[in-house]
């Protein structure tokens, strides 16, 4: 199964999050996913294979690939279930305490600390997303339960400090345990403020504020007691330092889910074999011509010399033409790059990617119909062809190896793809334009209007013979992204 979401990341970039979820009911040990994305670029941006080659495209995309965080309802994180995150962390700590000299058990404890913190973050985020969709009265009651669940989580986690602080345990273990505490505390505070912002103008806000403010205050007090970074009003230097540390802490804790990636070119062996064949054929041609010429001219004369020179000239041309032909054929069959995915020494999958410019005549019928240009845009397209970039991705996951990963039941991987648009803005006109309307008193009035450029993209996903399409429209100009929305087909 494939799940997708898209959002604006910052002023000049947007983010695709694509979840590749393995179906553990299938008999095959390998599962394949395909995602093709067509980007329809306005001709006025002067984007083509010469001004924006595939090397630039790959520079403009930043992909982070990670395991999907194990899914637990917030109330089950510290439940008595033997397979709950609470009991997994307790078992890892118990084994580390039993053999404090073991690096393997220490690494497993640190691993479980990070996983526990990531599960807390994911569960808290999902619970808040559910609460904000509830009616006012239900939102207040659910917020109270939410605060109680969070209190149980931090009470459990901090109850382990006396065991972690044992003298025979590594200082590194103690530091990572504190990192987990700091991370969970920050997540609680951020999402508590998120709830308060959502309900701020609603009738139940005083009730929700009464529940959440003590929770935020307790976390702030805990961070001060443990000398964790804290924001301070009127102290920008300190706050800049705190924000920087939060960013580092996030990377440290979430690193446990990110996969090790080994990149290479797809079809490298086939390319070398075909290029060798091209060299061999061209050499064979030159050798045959030289051999025949020597049979005709017994002595080394000027005609023989010229024939040999010309044969070697053709030899180089034949080799280059064959290399060009083979390169074009390889591009149709192989991808531009291949990335092997692994975690903790276990290879769990491969991602292949390629990008190319395609003509409208090569669009699948479903994609062509989804594009649905308005009449004026269609008229422009008949004169100035819209540039179409096809970005292909093929993902192969090893279902059995993902299932065998130690500790938790992982569902698959998330590919978080960030696309930077700055290069596409280089040929844009000024963002603001003077506009005029008639006015009886002054004759006319002048005001400013903003010029935006549309970037349409259509995504086709396929897994287990199930196909789906998504269509999006992004509006942007030289000042950045203005709007990003999904367009539902009629």
Kindly tell me if the per-residue pLDDT of 1 is higher than 90. Answer: no
Same domain? For 116 and 226 the reply is yes
pLDDT digits (tens, 9 = 90+) for 412-470: 899 999 999 999 998 888 888 888 898 888 888 888 888 899 999 999 999 888 899 99
In a domain, 341, yes or no: no
Angle at 24 between CA 18 and CA 30, to 5 degrees: 75
In a domain, 118, yes or no: yes
pLDDT at residue 399, rounded to an integer:
84
Range of the domain at 329: 267-333
First vs last C-alpha separation in the chain: 24
**Local confidence band at 259 (pLDDT 50, 70, 90 cut-offs):** very high
Segments in 132-204 forming alpha helices (H): 136-158, 161-164, 171-199
pLDDT at residue 376, rounded to an integer:
45
Bridge pairing between strands 13-21 and 412-420: antiparallel
Same domain? For 31 and 149 the reply is no
- Distance, CA of 330 to CA of 339 (rounded, Å): 18
Closest CA to 203 of 132, 130, 136, 128: 136
Closest CA to 49 of 405, 412, 385: 385
- The rounded percent of the chain whose pLDDT value lies above 90 is 46
pLDDT digits (tens, 9 = 90+) for 239-250: 899 999 999 999
Hey, what's the torsion of the CAs at 122, 124, 126, 132, to 10 degrees? -160
- Distance, CA of 98 to CA of 469 (rounded, Å): 53
Same domain? For 96 and 218 the reply is yes
Of 19-28, 129-138, 183-192, the range with the highest mean pLDDT is: 183-192
Mean pLDDT of 206-216: 91
Last residue of a domain, one of 205, 221, 256: 256
Same domain? For 399 and 362 the reply is yes
Same domain? For 219 and 90 the reply is yes
pLDDT at residue 380, rounded to an integer:
44
Same domain? For 24 and 44 the reply is yes
Measured in degrees and rounded to the nearest 5, phi and psi for residue 136 equal -55, -55
Same domain? For 36 and 80 the reply is no
Same domain? For 413 and 272 the reply is no
Mean pLDDT of 204-214: 90
pLDDT digits (tens, 9 = 90+) for 281-329: 777 777 777 777 767 766 667 777 777 777 777 777 777 676 665 555 5
In a domain, 59, yes or no: no
pLDDT at residue 151, rounded to an integer:
94
In a domain, 159, yes or no: yes
Measured in degrees and rounded to the nearest 5, phi and psi for residue 259 equal -90, 150
Residue whose structure tokens are 């280089």: 426
Same domain? For 215 and 91 the reply is yes
pLDDT at residue 490, rounded to an integer:
59
pTM of the model: 0.81
In a domain, 362, yes or no: yes
pLDDT digits (tens, 9 = 90+) for 68-121: 999 999 999 999 998 899 999 999 999 998 888 888 888 999 999 999 999 999
Last residue of a domain, one of 236, 256, 276: 256
The CA-based diameter of the chain, rounded to the nearest angstrom, is 107
What is the average pLDDT score of the chain? 85
C-beta of residue 437 within 8 angstroms of C-beta of residue 445: yes
Question: How would you class 331 by CB atoms within 10 Å of its CB: exposed for 0-12, middle for 13-18, buried for 19 or more?
Answer: middle
- Distance, CA of 114 to CA of 249 (rounded, Å): 11
Please count the structural domains in the chain.
3
**Local confidence band at 379 (pLDDT 50, 70, 90 cut-offs):** very low
Same domain? For 150 and 251 the reply is yes
Structure tokens at 64: 């982070």
pLDDT at residue 460, rounded to an integer:
93
pLDDT at residue 383, rounded to an integer:
46
pLDDT at residue 159, rounded to an integer:
94
In a domain, 285, yes or no: yes
Same domain? For 373 and 432 the reply is yes
Same domain? For 173 and 301 the reply is no
Residues 6+ apart with CB under 8 A from 101: none
In a domain, 61, yes or no: no
**Local confidence band at 222 (pLDDT 50, 70, 90 cut-offs):** very high
- Distance, CA of 253 to CA of 118 (rounded, Å): 7
Last residue of a domain, one of 218, 237, 256: 256
In a domain, 10, yes or no: yes
């Amino acid at each position: 199964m494939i799940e997708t979401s898209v959002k604006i990341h910052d002023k000049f970039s947007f983010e695709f999050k694509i979840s590749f979820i393995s179906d553990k009911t299938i008999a095959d040990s390998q599962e394949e996913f395909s995602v093709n994305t067509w980007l329809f670029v306005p001709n006025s941006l002067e984007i083509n294979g010469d001004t924006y080659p595939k090397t630039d495209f790959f520079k403009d995309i930043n992909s982070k690939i990670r395991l999907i965080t194990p899914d637990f309802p917030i109330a089950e994180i510290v439940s008595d279930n033997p397979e709950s995150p609470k009991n997994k962390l307790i078992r890892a700590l118990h084994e580390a305490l039993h053999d404090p000299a073991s690096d393997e058990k220490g690494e497993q404890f640190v691993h479980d600390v990070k996983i526990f913190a990531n599960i807390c973050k994911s569960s808290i985020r999902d619970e808040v997303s559910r609460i904000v969709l509830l009616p006012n009265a239900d939102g207040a009651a659910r917020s109270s339960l939410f605060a109680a669940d969070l209190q149980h989580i931090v009470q459990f986690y901090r109850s382990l400090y006396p065991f972690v602080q044992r003298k025979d345990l590594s200082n590194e273990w103690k530091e990572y345990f504190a990192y987990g505490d700091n991370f969970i505390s920050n997540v609680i505070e951020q999402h508590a403020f998120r709830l308060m912002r959502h309900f701020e103008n609603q009738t139940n806000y005083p009730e929700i504020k009464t529940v959440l403010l003590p929770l935020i205050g307790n976390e702030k007090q805990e961070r001060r007691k443990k000398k964790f970074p804290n924001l301070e009003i009127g102290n920008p230097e300190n706050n800049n330092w705190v924000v920087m540390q939060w960013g580092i802490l996030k990377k440290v804790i979430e690193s446990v889910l990110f996969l090790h990636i080994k990149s290479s070119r797809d079809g490298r062996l086939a390319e070398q074999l075909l290029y060798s064949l091209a060299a061999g054929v061209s050499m064979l041609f030159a050798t045959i011509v030289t051999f025949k010429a020597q049979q005709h001219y017994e002595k080394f004369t000027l005609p023989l010399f010229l024939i040999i020179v010309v044969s070697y000239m053709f030899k180089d041309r034949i080799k280059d033409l064959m290399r060009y032909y083979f390169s074009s054929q390889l591009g149709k069959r192989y991808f531009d790059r291949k990335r092997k995915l692994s975690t903790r020494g276990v290879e769990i999958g491969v991602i292949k990617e390629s990008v190319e410019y395609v003509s409208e005549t090569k669009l699948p019928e479903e994609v062509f119909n989804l594009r649905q240009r308005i009449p004026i845009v269609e008229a422009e397209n008949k004169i100035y062809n819209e540039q179409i970039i096809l970005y292909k991705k093929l993902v192969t996951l090893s279902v059995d190896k993902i299932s065998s990963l130690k500790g938790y039941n992982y569902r698959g991987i998330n590919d978080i793809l960030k696309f930077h648009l700055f290069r596409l803005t280089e040929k844009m006109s000024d963002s603001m334009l003077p506009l005029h309307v008639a006015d009886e008193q002054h004759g006319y009035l002048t005001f400013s209007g903003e010029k935006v450029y549309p970037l349409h993209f259509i995504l086709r996903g396929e897994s287990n013979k199930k196909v789906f399409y998504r269509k999006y429209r992004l509006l942007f100009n030289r000042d950045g992204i203005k709007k990003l929305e999904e367009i539902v087909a009629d």
